[in-house]
A and B are shown apart, each in its own frame.
Chain A
Amino acid sequence: MTQNWPLWEVFVRSRRGLSHTHAGSLHAPDAEMALRNARDLYTRRNEGISIWVVPSTAVTASSPDERDPFFAPSADKPYRHPTFYDIPEGVSHL
């Protein structure tokens, strides 16, 4: 099963959506079948949407063990954050 029917990750962009969002995963023998199965499982065949399928093995994930060094913001280096600018008067969309 896992050999002939590998796992695929499915990303779907809805008709009015701006980006592809991870919708779930499924098993399929190849990319073409994965697309068709994704359509059945995750889109109910709504027109005008986009689907990406990616073999799960192609996804490299960050490791939970490395969360701290990977993601911890360096709070003691405030120059990394754009917080020192004076906002000119009259600029309403900053």
Chain B
Amino acid sequence: MTGTDTGAATVTAAALALGDDALILSHRLGEWAGHAPVLEEEVALANIALDLLGQARILLSMVGDEDELAFLREERSFRNLQLVEQPNGDFAHTIARQLYFSVHQHELYAELARGEGPFAPLAAKAVKETAYHRDHAEQWTLRLGDGTEESRARMQAALQALWKFTGELFQPVEGLGGVDWAALEERWLAALTDVVERAGLTLPEGPRTGAWAAGAGRQGLHTESFGRMLAEMQHLHRSHPGASW
């Protein structure tokens, strides 16, 4: 941290953005508990959710009280990507969301870990976790794409449905000044193209942001289902303010 007011403010903005991504996706994955296709996948999704929750706790603690930030902010104060708040849908939708996000997060954290910014120590630890998340998503993309006719169709539909939320991944985040976002996007596209082709699928075409306001999550503008998710997530804390557990 630079110690100046602007420096601290931009670190706060970046920590909120990265922390909210991890927190919200963790919560979405937690919704799978007890509902995954097989027991082994249940454990894998829970593991990923726990990794993300750990990242969120560290990042939000850089900003303030992690519980207050998670449970007492309104929807408009959350800075997460619209991609991570999307509903789980079927298993293919969850995997497509994981694929788009975890390839991005892995590449971003690898770059942050190489730098000397305030996020380097966190990224150095989290990059190992995100490598696993990425591998998990890629493996499932290959299996669903190369599986039955139905699994292939579902995976293709999921990739298509979430495509319009991927442009936001590469909007520069205030406070992550050292990141080359254009190069990050190139690496992401190359990796996605590779895995999607190996899976026998096609990468969707068409705009990745647009008039539907995709790409506004970082400004606090969210999609419809996010409010319901927050209501569930924050219910207990808001019902018993100040309680300790």
Chain A residues at the B interface, C-beta cutoff of 8 Å: 1, 5, 26-29, 32-33, 36-37, 40-41, 45
Nearest to B45 among chain A residues (CB) is A40
Of the A-B pairs whose beta carbons lie under 8 Å apart in the complex, a sample of 16, sorted by A's number, is A1-B38, A5-B38, A27-B38, A27-B40, A33-B40, A33-B139, A33-B143, A36-B44, A36-B135, A36-B139, A37-B43, A40-B40, A40-B43, A40-B44, A40-B47, A41-B43
Apart from A40-B40, A45-B132, 16 more pairs, CB < 8 Å: A26-B40, A27-B38, A27-B39, A28-B40, A33-B40, A33-B143, A36-B44, A36-B136, A36-B139, A37-B43, A37-B44, A40-B43, A40-B44, A40-B47, A41-B40, A41-B43
Select the residue from B38, B47, B132, B139 with max chain A CB neighbours within 10 A. Answer: B38
A26 to B39, CA, bound (A): 9
Q: Mark B25-55, 1 if CB is under 8 A from A, else 0.
A: 0000000000000111001100100000000
In the complex, which of the residues A1, A32, A40, A45 contacts B139, with contact meaning CB atoms closer than 8 Å? A32
Chain B residues at the A interface, C-beta cutoff of 8 Å: 38-40, 43-44, 47, 132, 135-136, 139, 143
Q: Which residues of A contact B139 (CB under 8 A)?
A: 32-33, 36
A37 to B59, CA, bound (A): 28
Q: Which residues of A contact B43 (CB under 8 A)?
A: 37, 40-41
Q: Which residues of B contact A26 (CB under 8 A)?
A: 40
Q: Which residues of B contact A28 (CB under 8 A)?
A: 40
Q: How far is the CB of A53 from chain B (nearest CB, A)?
A: 12
A37 to B45, CA, bound (A): 11
Nearest to B41 among chain A residues (CB) is A37
Nearest to A38 among chain B residues (CB) is B40
Q: Which residues of B contact A1 (CB under 8 A)?
A: 38
8 A-B pairs closest in CB distance: A37-B40, A40-B43, A40-B44, A40-B47, A26-B40, A41-B43, A27-B40, A27-B38
A5 to B38, CA, bound (A): 9
A42 to B45, CA, bound (A): 15
A33 to B137, CA, bound (A): 12
Q: How far is the CB of B71 from chain A (nearest CB, A)?
A: 28
A86 to B145, CA, bound (A): 70
Nearest to A26 among chain B residues (CB) is B40
Q: How far is the CB of A86 from chain B (nearest CB, A)?
A: 57
Nearest to B136 among chain A residues (CB) is A36
Q: Which residues of A contact B38 (CB under 8 A)?
A: 1, 5, 27
Q: How far is the CB of A10 from chain B (nearest CB, A)?
A: 11
Q: How far is the CB of B60 from chain A (nearest CB, A)?
A: 23
Q: Which residues of B contact A36 (CB under 8 A)?
A: 44, 135-136, 139
Q: How far is the CB of B124 from chain A (nearest CB, A)?
A: 14
A40 to B43, CA, bound (A): 7
